[in-house]
Amino acid sequence: MVRLMVCSDIHTKVGHFQDAVVAARAGGPVDAILIAGDLQMPIATIDELKLPEPIYLVHGNNDAALEPTHPADELVIDVAADGIAGVRELGYHQGAPARGGDVTHRIMVTHGHTYRAPRLVRLRQRAAALDADVVIYGHSHRWQVDTGGPADALVVNSGTLMPKPGSGRCTFMTMVIDGKDVRVERHEL
């Protein structure tokens, strides 16, 4: 079983990010933290938190403060029954190697702006090209879980850790992958 914290669109709100990590841990151990872009601050700011969990992140359209090649445009994360089996950094339109035999799920992480998110057609096309059955994206600042059709990838958006104007609410998600089962849970701060 693998348990992930997923967030996006932090937009400099490092305190909200810290609160989300604490809340995610309250539900059980977190195997990794995935950030789907728009950190909008140097990675060193997150590194200074000295979190024990591995953190995987991608560029967003507001991440000019980050190095141009790190983080990557996209990530492909292979998950096996006993944990994360591999993480590959990709540029847009780059291919990924075939899944290994022990891989139960392949997750594609992208910010989504180059795929016209929140429209899902291009995200699903890219997922199919990468043999990904789960897509995590950001950009829209809106919580979303879309299962699509039987052959489609599960597409999720955790929302934003920057409060929405007028609502004051931040959202993130935890994702549990247990065998063939993928469950997501919405969290609000």
Which CATH number is 30's domain given?
A: 3.60.21.10
**Average pLDDT taken over every residue of the chain:** 93
Range of the domain at 78: 2-188
For the segment 119-129, what is each residue's pLDDT rounded down to a tens digit?
899 999 999 99
C-alpha to C-alpha distance for 23 and 5, rounded to whole angstroms:
10
Q: Compute the average pLDDT of residues 160-188.
A: 91
What's the confidence (pLDDT) of residue 6? 99
Q: With 90 as the cut, is the pLDDT of residue 184 above it?
A: yes
How many structural domains does the chain have? 1
What is the mean predicted confidence (pLDDT) over 59-82?
85
Q: Distance (Å, rounded) from C-alpha 156 to C-alpha 142?
A: 10
State the CB neighbour count (10 A cutoff) for residue 28: 11
Q: What is the pLDDT of residue 91?
A: 84
Position 69 confidence tier, pLDDT thresholds 50, 70, 90 = low
Whether the bond between 71 and the residue before it is cis, its omega within 30 degrees of 0, is: yes
pLDDT given at position 142: 93
pLDDT reported for residue 168? 72
Separation CA 155–CA 162 (nearest Å): 21
pLDDT, tens only, 10-64? 999 999 999 999 999 999 999 999 999 999 998 889 999 999 999 999 999 998 8
Q: How high is the pLDDT of residue 65?
A: 74
158 beta partners: 143
- Residue 166 — pLDDT band, cuts 50, 70, 90? low
Quick check: helix, strand or coil at residue 20?
helix
pLDDT at 64: 80
The per-residue pLDDT for 5 is 99
| CA-closest candidate to residue 17, choices 32, 39, 50, 37 | 39
